[in-house]
Amino acid sequence: DIQVTQSPSSLSASVGDRVTITCRASQYIGSYLNWYQQKPGKAPKLLIYAASSLQSGVPSRFGGSGSGTDFTLTISSLQPEDFATYYCQQSYSVPRTFGQGTKVDIK
């Protein structure tokens, strides 16, 4: 199985901050990396697919980059509705695997 490791596991930030979350895969996965946002009591929501493609309807302050084994999710200016847990997920092979999550809360 391909392991995906996120860092940090949690972070505190203020509205307007630039936030960066990283994801590292245990082997080469090209650009087969997706990012999801999950709020309490809700299903995950797709934000970024194929490492850097913004899902329709997702605000442009979300951005993704990287390829190979190292990837980044960036929120350029954190908004109140962005406080949530973020997961990366590899779609290079099965079984599909997710990172352990990064919880973004209010500083």
Partner 1 sequence: QVQLQESGPGLVKPSQTLSLACTVSGASVNSGSYYWSWIRQPAGKGLEWIGRMYTSGTITYNPSLESRVTISVDTSKNQFSLELSSVTAADTAIYYCAKETSGGRDYFDYWGQGTLVTVSS
Contact set with partner 1 (CB under 8 A): 1, 31-32, 34, 36, 42-46, 49-50, 53, 55, 87, 89, 91, 94-101
Closest by CA to 88, choosing from 18, 1, 6, is 6
Q: Please check whether residue 90 is in contact with residue 28, taking contact to mean a CB–CB distance below 8 angstroms.
A: no
- Three-state DSSP class for 81? helix
Distance CA 103, CA 32 (A): 22
Q: Which is nearer to partner 1, 77 or 100 (CB)?
A: 100
Smaller CB separation from partner 1, 75 or 99: 99
The CA distance from 81 to 57, in Å, is: 14
Q: Which is nearer to partner 1, 42 or 80 (CB)?
A: 42
**Residue 36 CB, nearest approach to partner 1 (Å):** 7
